[in-house]
Structure 1
Amino acid sequence: MSGDRRRSGNLLTDSPELYEARFPDPERLAGRWAEDTLRRYGAGPRVLDIGCGTGRDAAYLHRAGRAVIGADLSPAMLDYARERHPGPEYRRADLRGFALGTFDAVVCLDSALLYCHGNDDLDGFLGSCRRALAPGGLLMAEMRNGAYFLGRTDLLDTPADDAFTWRGTGYRSTTTLRVDRTAQLLRRTRVWTSDDGSPPVEQRSAWRLLLPQELRHFLTAHGFTVLALYDGPGPRTDPPWRDGDTPGVTADADRLHLIARLDTPQGVSAHHQPRTPHA
């Protein structure tokens, strides 16, 4: 593990190729789920993938015929996306406050929304989405479900170990989660070791623990109507989403999937009104 990665303390964010090796998605489930959802709710072609990471999902949406901008705060991720997943336009932006143009849909996957730790951060994100979306536009997000941790400790009791090999080097990680109730955060500590003789790397991060009804309140306050808010199926659920699956109706498991529509001001005609899917 290189010295640059030790200085940053974030092995995967600084090493996008390693990130994709650790979290492979050969079937492009996340991108397929996003495209299926956009079609299901009648979204127009202009899409912003905010928190796009390595660009895999943005590139899938681009190949599906959409005009996509992928945005992320990590320069390393953006450089990698431009080289390895071309097609979309990639721009650097903070999801807590951005102005990147006008879109028919904003997509925010892999718990990126939960890096809005405080209420001001969440207001900044939703306010930016409101200004970015055309009337009737869609906001869709996929994230951990804060409600799962009400009375459940299975993800907290035992550290999770993982191992994989990349370019001939074995990597191992031990991840510990704990709930910070005062800050309403799920705090993660991940310790990386490798068999190339590098010293261990400790990485710390946190996600906001949002409850479904709390999220509904924030969305309503920012002019959105929630069309669906459910735990599965999705690209990271067990079992995962498959082509033809319809949105669920419960919000009890550890993932949460959100689809919301920006309300159309009275007297304003939306360019492409989303439609509620049939049951």
Structure 2
Amino acid sequence: MKHRTGNLLTDRPELYEARFPDPGRLAGRWAEDVLRRYGAGPAVLDLGCGTGRDAACLQDAGRRVTAADLSGAMLAHARAQHPGPVYVQADLSRFDFGHRAFDAVVCLDSSLLYCHTNEQLDGFLTSCRRTLVPGGLLVAEMRNGAYFLGRDEPPRIPAVSRFTWQGTTYRSTTALRVDRAAQLLRRTRRWTADDGSPPVEEHSAWRLLLPQELRHFLTVHGFDVLALHDGPGPRTEPVWQPGAEPGAAADGDRLHLIARKPVGDSAGHSAHPATGEQP
């Protein structure tokens, strides 16, 4: 059977939200808790915002949110279904919002790991430092590359899952493999649906960053690492709950990062925090 290539969930964001429901808005609430805990100002940039659920959650909490993604389909869905933030198209490895500055940059759900190369990661951190006000926060949540050391991970047998949306059942078969030379977790996923549509084959990858490697990149780019831990978080088990104290280990399958641009660091520009107005 021949598969067409694409990304079913990115091309159809309504399916993404059906496949990964988040009725409790855990990711957005976790991010808001971190921002409050570390005293971040109201102007927030959400990078890799996807369908806009987390950006809208932060906006509802009183933030002035600009949300960026590379996918035009995701942004169109976000504007229609999760209004409030300002949605813009941008590449997180090299973004520039001119004279607008932000009190915090938030990057959830492993979006940072789409920076596959050192050059892309350097570009991301350079852009973050340039767009943050002195004392601004970088908050990120992602897979933990160290989790794959010494474990029989990823599983050798492809994972099979299914979900139903508007009467159609979608079935996926997902195979993961570690590309050690490129330091990537590569995924091949095949989708079929019972509505007669052609199967879809997806290929994607995430950078596998070790905690000390990530800490080094941040230090080189002038950030102070305030916390780097494996849980609790919105995608950990047990899951994060309001008021939970951050952990001290970095052994689990997720990493949670909080870093600060030093107060005396005026690198980039001296603009006022973003107002949230459409550029």
Name the TM-score class by shorter chain. over 0.9
Using the TM superposition, give the Cα deviation of residue 265 of structure 1 relative to its aligned residue in structure 2, in angstroms: 2.3
1:158 Cα offset (Å): 2.3
Q: TM-score, normalised by structure 2?
A: 0.92
Corresponding residue SS for 1:157: coil
Change (3 A) 1:7 1:260: same
Secondary structure at the aligned position of 1:176 is classed as strand
The code of the aligned residue for 1:111 comes to: S
Matched, 1:70 2:67: yes
Q: Which moved more, 1:90-99 or 1:194-203?
A: 194-203
Q: Which residue of 1 aligns with 2:127?
A: 128
Q: What letter is aligned with 2:12?
A: S
**Using the alignment, how far apart are the partners of 1:266 and 1:106 within structure 2?**
16
Distance 2:104 2:36 in 1: 11
* TM-score normalised over the length of structure 1: 0.92
| Map 1:19-34 → 2, pairs under 5 A | 19-34=16-31
2:167 is aligned with 1:168: yes
Gaps of at least 5 residues in structure 1 are 1-5, 273-279
Q: Take 1:154 and 1:217, find their aligned partners in 2: how far apart are those partners?
A: 25
- Partners of 2:82 and 2:5 in 1: how far apart? 24
Structure 1 moving runs of 4+ over 4 Å: 266-269
After superposition, the C-alpha distances for 1:64-93 in whole angstroms (9 at most, x for unaligned) are 000000000000000000000000000000
In 1: Cα distance, 2:185 partner to 2:200 partner? 20
Shift of the alpha carbon at 1:266?
6.8
Cα pair distance change 1:184/1:267, threshold 3 Å: closer
In structure 1, the partner of 2:6 is 9
2:115 aligned with 1:113:
no
Aligned residues: 266
The structure-2 alpha-carbon separation of the partners of 1:266 and 1:46, relative to structure 1 and needing over 3 Å to count, comes to closer
Task: Find the aligned partners of 1:173 and 1:198 in 2 and give their Cα distance.
Answer: 14
CA distance in structure 1 between the partners assigned to 2:150 and 2:169 by the alignment: 36
Letter in 2 for 1:226: V
Q: Which residue does 1:213 correspond to in 2?
A: 212
Distance across 1 between alignment mates of 2:107 and 2:140: 5
Matched to 2:192, the amino acid is T
1:203 aligns to what?
Answer: 202
Are the equivalent residues in 1 in contact too, given 2:175–2:188 (CA < 8 A)? yes
CA distance in 2, matches of 1:48, 1:161: 35
Give the aligned partner of residue 176 of structure 2.
177
Cα shift readout 1:194-246 (whole Å, capped 9, x = no counterpart): 11122221101000000000000000011101000001110011111011111
Which ranges of structure 2 fall in alignment gaps of 5 or more residues?
A: 274-279
CA distance in 1, matches of 2:266, 2:104: 21
Distance in 1, matches of 2:103 and 2:57, equals 17
| Structure-1 separation of matches of 2:173 and 2:5 | 18
CA apart distance, 1:8: 5.3
Q: How does 1:31-70 map to 2 (within 5 A)?
A: 31-70=28-67
Deviation at 1:168, TM superposition (A): 0.3
Q: Is residue 92 from structure 1 mapped to residue 128 from structure 2 by the alignment?
A: no
Q: Does structure 1 conserve the Cα–Cα contact (< 8 Å) formed by 2:5 and 2:200? A: no
Q: Is the 8 A contact 2:144 2:208 kept in 1?
A: yes
Which residue identity does 1:83 align to in structure 2? Answer: A
Q: Report the counterpart of residue 276 of structure 1 in structure 2.
A: none
Q: C-alpha root-mean-square deviation of aligned residues, in Å?
A: 1.7
Give the aligned partner of residue 228 of structure 2: 229
